[in-house]
Amino acid sequence: MAYTFQFGQAFIHLPYLLGGALLSLEIAFIAFWGGTVLGLFGAYTLVYGSRLLRSIVQGYVTFFTNTPAVVQIFFLFYALPEAGIMLSSFTAVTLGLVLNSAAYLADIQRAGFLSVRQTELDAAETLGMSRLQMLRYVIVPHIARTIYPPLSSFFIWLVLGSSIGALYGVEELTGRALNIATSNLRTIEIFLVVGGIYIVMTLAASLSLGLVGRHVFRVRGGLLR
């Protein structure tokens, strides 16, 4: 039996789906920045912290990078209410992704800290720079440049990873697609369209991140080779 595509059934829901796409971006954005800030503290601790603090952070990173995000969010969503903490599905998913990203981003930023070359610090010191000037003119720009490409990729990954919210009833792009598909049963058309929207989002994101990277941090790669 031949399948007859009816894309009209998907396209009439486009505004609704785009609203979901916006929520996907929002989740990715919060998870990214929350994870970056938490991860920065984690990275700093991993490089400069005491032995005790280092092993605590290392334990955190090991736990969160070796268990599925789905499981982590399940825990937040179903176990925390037992302790009297009720989270909306949106909060549980976003929080879960923040905690999960923090682990990965701590590792990425740690590599950035380690990439600062002692030789450049020697030069800065002998030119007469103070600690603060070294931080501002040498260390931070260096870290930013080193970690920019992996951070960009991670953001893209989060845009796609936000679809995990659908499992918990968050009405982001995938969640909304499921809503429509279960009512009109045009699953194939809807998910083809949704796939297209994801591609447009990630292409736009990597293109703009690539442009920023090229002009601000002089990094090449990705779509802009």
Partner 1 sequence: MPHLAIDGLNASYKNLKVLHDICLDVERSEVVSLIGPSGSGKSTLLRTLVGVNKPTSGKVTLAQRTLDYSSASSLKQARDSMAIVFQQYNLFQNMTVIGNVTIAPLKIKKWQRAEVEEHAHSLLQKVGLGHKLKAYPDELSGGQQQRVAIARALALKPQLLLLDEITSALDPELVGEVLDIIRGLARDGMTMLIVSHEMGFVREVSSRVVMMDQGRIVEIGTPQQIFDAPKETRTRDFTARVLSH
Given the rule CB under 8 A, which residues bind partner 1? 117, 119-120, 122-130, 133, 137-138, 141-142, 145, 218
Minimum CB distance to partner 1 smaller for 126 or for 182: 126
Minimum CB distance to partner 1 smaller for 86 or for 131: 131
Minimum CB distance to partner 1 smaller for 84 or for 128: 128
Minimum CB distance to partner 1 smaller for 85 or for 122: 122
In the bound complex, what is the minimum distance in angstroms from residue 131's beta carbon to partner 1?
Answer: 8
Contact yes or no for 4/183 (Cβ under 8 A): no
Minimum CB distance to partner 1 smaller for 124 or for 158: 124
Q: Can you give the length of the chain in residues?
A: 225
Minimum CB distance to partner 1 smaller for 117 or for 224: 117
What distance in Å separates the CA atoms of residue 143 and residue 109, rounded to the nearest whole number?
8
In the bound complex, what is the minimum distance in angstroms from residue 224's beta carbon to partner 1?
Answer: 17
In the bound complex, what is the minimum distance in angstroms from residue 110's beta carbon to partner 1?
Answer: 19
**Rounded (10°) CA dihedral 34, 102, 24, 199:** 130
Minimum CB distance to partner 1 smaller for 54 or for 145: 145
In the bound complex, what is the minimum distance in angstroms from residue 122's beta carbon to partner 1?
Answer: 6
In the bound complex, what is the minimum distance in angstroms from residue 127's beta carbon to partner 1?
Answer: 4
Contact yes or no for 137/129 (Cβ under 8 A): yes
Beta bridge partners of 224: 221
Single-letter amino acid code for the residue at 49:
G
Non-local CB neighbours of 18 within 8 Å, separated by 6+ positions:
197
In the bound complex, what is the minimum distance in angstroms from residue 124's beta carbon to partner 1?
Answer: 7
Q: Which two tokens stand for residue 187?
A: 């699953």
CB count within 10 Å of CB 209 equals: 21
What distance in Å separates the CA atoms of residue 134 and residue 138, rounded to the nearest whole number?
5
Beta bridge partners of 221: 224
Measured CA distances, 29 to 24, 154, 192, 212 (Å): 9, 11, 24, 17
In the bound complex, what is the minimum distance in angstroms from residue 115's beta carbon to partner 1?
Answer: 10
